[in-house]
Chains A and B, each alone.
Chain A
């Protein structure tokens, strides 16, 4: 018996070994195919608007990274706000960037509502204090923050009738490519703050300066009096509430800067006598009015007593690129505020596009007799209502802001303390505005040549009868036909 069983056992062992070997080979082939398939793959974007395809410019920039860039999508899909509307597009874009720049781009998603611990770590790591959904970028020790709401163009025209905002175009790739270029270029953007006229000091503007630092921008003083021209490396010049006027030479320097594609951010001090500064603004079409924006308030607890409210609360107007993402956030101007007249004819002659950015609340007006407020009241034809207190001017641009090329840009606000730290802490919308304005002034996304992707919506407006017919065909006719066919087969089988 033992002799007979030996070959059988041997044969079985051989078969088992053969089987094992085959299995190992097949598993190896499976792993190898997937390893190769995972690392060497091809993707085709067959979507209508090619919404997943990256531009060559973006791919080229990614190739230039010599070390990994870290991108954190700091956003909660359940957040309220415009950023939520581009959350999914941003995720898709980051996935494409990850695919395109394997090992060079690290993406992390942090949902602050679900991961508060990780959110705090990221805030510390990126020196990011805002609560707004944002993209946080780090390349070596260089960091940059991009609010998600800046990645979309929104149509807010329906807000007044209760319609939600609508995403018109997604410009995430342009914004990220511009950010990549900035991070790759070790040279920081330079933002000069004019000094020598009693302007706000750096210690009053710490929050604004911190933001500039995070944007890889360097804030520097600019003693204009001793200069023949604005330094060539200036990416923007800020004039923050000068109490003394510009000298004639300084005015010429700033005029030349503006005429040659300069970017100016100006806060006016209405109590200061600054005719030369007004001369800088006049050709652009922005005329600071000699008034003070205020409103009166009758206290219900003490009838007959009229209080004059000089702290201006206003809204950001949604029709400009700078303010469209700010939505319903309020602007608060606690110091004396003057209204701005926008002279579009003058502007048109200079090829300047004017856009109102901040409008005082509907109860406010620009009071011309502000020195005697004993019996103040709105005078039709003399005072101004509504009062525009912030505006932008772009020279060489077009009516459609997104189609412009390199332009001279200016943002003017008719109040001095608008960006003081203590004001910004109470009214974070002011800083949001300044961030958006400076992003616009420093904006390099237009230079990337990456075109924003138009969003196609799938609008349906089916009538009840159309829906009923769809239901009839899909829920009754089609399954019914199958049931009938099955019944025929069953009957034929029985027959």
Chain B
């Protein structure tokens, strides 16, 4: 466990010593801040909407744009950079297990993802401070929104990890993960675009639809199915990342 924490600390330190992390964080906060401001502005102008600030905030196109974009940026360097710089060999010959390396890198990325989203909680505090109103209709909507954010993030980061393990080129890794995440994201919209689909296909697309999941969780409707889905998808993707990582190790 100590070896794992050492590796994890190394990953986290690498992220936060790099100016790129702050550039990502800066632009991410600009985007999410803009989304928050627009959300409040929209509700303020539209009289008496049915949804609270939080429910609108987590379901706007700005939110989804800001949500999908960071994953390739966070994960593209995880393995690709090590392959390119040759530091992976040092890691492979070190007395650590491959699973420890993989999990340290993955959880390091997840830590940065959490740090990325944590300040957005301040938006709702600022809103409460300025208006005296709660941005969500119940504590459940806060729990649901951030729980779904974490679940989606876990899976998409795993995809990024896999993409990064596949290549030594960070740009290629970023493109692979971006395309994969986008395809999965748009798959959930299939039944919206083509309403005449069969019930089975509709249920299937809805089962994988992050938009439907976020819409439901952000309204306080928690469901075990997306939890099982994203945890199992994360585990599956990390398993394949592990296999790819081992394959490259044998090649080395």
A interface residue numbers (CB < 8 A to B):
15, 19, 22-23, 26-27, 29-30, 33-34, 36-38, 41-49, 52, 88, 106, 108-109, 111, 114-115, 118, 166-167, 455-462, 466-467, 469-471, 473-475, 478-479, 482-483, 485-487, 489-490, 493
Q: Is the interface of B mostly helix, strand, loop or mixed?
A: helix
Give the nearest-CB partner of A85 in chain B.
B50
Asked whether, in the complex, the Cβ of B47 is within 8 Å of the Cβ of A478, the reply is no
Interface residues of B in 172-193 (CB under 8 A from A): none
Residues of B within 8 A of A167 (CB): 50
Asked whether, in the complex, the Cβ of A111 is within 8 Å of the Cβ of B131, the reply is no
Knowing A23-B243, A467-B41, A479-B29 touch, does A41 contact B47 (C-beta < 8 A)?
A: no
Asked whether, in the complex, the Cβ of B232 is within 8 Å of the Cβ of A33, the reply is yes
Asked whether, in the complex, the Cβ of B130 is within 8 Å of the Cβ of A469, the reply is yes
Asked whether, in the complex, the Cβ of A48 is within 8 Å of the Cβ of B137, the reply is yes
Asked whether, in the complex, the Cβ of A489 is within 8 Å of the Cβ of B232, the reply is no
Asked whether, in the complex, the Cβ of A46 is within 8 Å of the Cβ of B195, the reply is no
17 CB < 8 A contacts A-B: A41-B224, A42-B223, A45-B220, A46-B138, A46-B140, A46-B144, A48-B137, A88-B50, A106-B199, A456-B50, A457-B49, A458-B51, A458-B52, A467-B40, A483-B26, A489-B16, A493-B19
Asked whether, in the complex, the Cβ of B30 is within 8 Å of the Cβ of A479, the reply is yes
Q: Is B127 engaged at the interface, CB distance under 8 Å to the other chain?
A: yes
- State in angstroms the CA–CA spacing of A461 and B130 once bound together: 12
Interface residues of B in 225-252 (CB under 8 A from A): 225, 228-229, 232-233, 235-236, 239-240, 243, 250
Q: Is B154 engaged at the interface, CB distance under 8 Å to the other chain?
A: no
B221's partner among A38, A45, A114, A456 (CB-CB below 8 A) is A45
Give the nearest-CB partner of A480 in chain B.
B26
Asked whether, in the complex, the Cβ of A478 is within 8 Å of the Cβ of B195, the reply is no
Knowing A30-B236, A46-B143, A47-B141 touch, does A474 contact B37 (C-beta < 8 A)?
A: yes
Q: In the complex, what's the smallest C-beta–C-beta distance from A12 to chain B, in angstroms?
A: 9
- State in angstroms the CA–CA spacing of A483 and B24 once bound together: 10
Residues of A within 8 A of B43 (CB): 458, 460
Residues of A within 8 A of B130 (CB): 462, 466, 469-470, 473
Give the nearest-CB partner of B219 in chain A.
A47
Asked whether, in the complex, the Cβ of A486 is within 8 Å of the Cβ of B243, the reply is no
Residues of B within 8 A of A22 (CB): 239, 243
Asked whether, in the complex, the Cβ of A47 is within 8 Å of the Cβ of B53, the reply is no
- Known pairs A19-B243, A41-B228, A482-B29; list 15 more (Cβ under 8 Å): A37-B232, A46-B141, A47-B137, A47-B141, A52-B219, A466-B131, A470-B36, A470-B126, A471-B37, A478-B29, A478-B122, A479-B26, A479-B27, A490-B19, A493-B17
Interface residues of B in 16-60 (CB under 8 A from A): 16-17, 19, 21-23, 25-27, 29-30, 33-34, 36-37, 40-41, 43-44, 47-53
Q: In the complex, what's the smallest C-beta–C-beta distance from A63 to chain B, in angstroms?
A: 21
A458's partner among B137, B140, B250 (CB-CB below 8 A) is B137
> Which of A46, A108, A109, A493 is the most central at the interface, judged by chain B CB atoms within 10 Å of its CB?
A46
Residues of A within 8 A of B48 (CB): 166, 457-459
Knowing A37-B228, A462-B44, A469-B130 touch, does A48 contact B199 (C-beta < 8 A)?
A: no
Asked whether, in the complex, the Cβ of A460 is within 8 Å of the Cβ of B40, the reply is yes
Q: Is B139 engaged at the interface, CB distance under 8 Å to the other chain?
A: yes
Asked whether, in the complex, the Cβ of B119 is within 8 Å of the Cβ of A478, the reply is yes
Q: In the complex, what's the smallest C-beta–C-beta distance from B60 to chain A, in angstroms?
A: 14
Residues of A within 8 A of B117 (CB): none
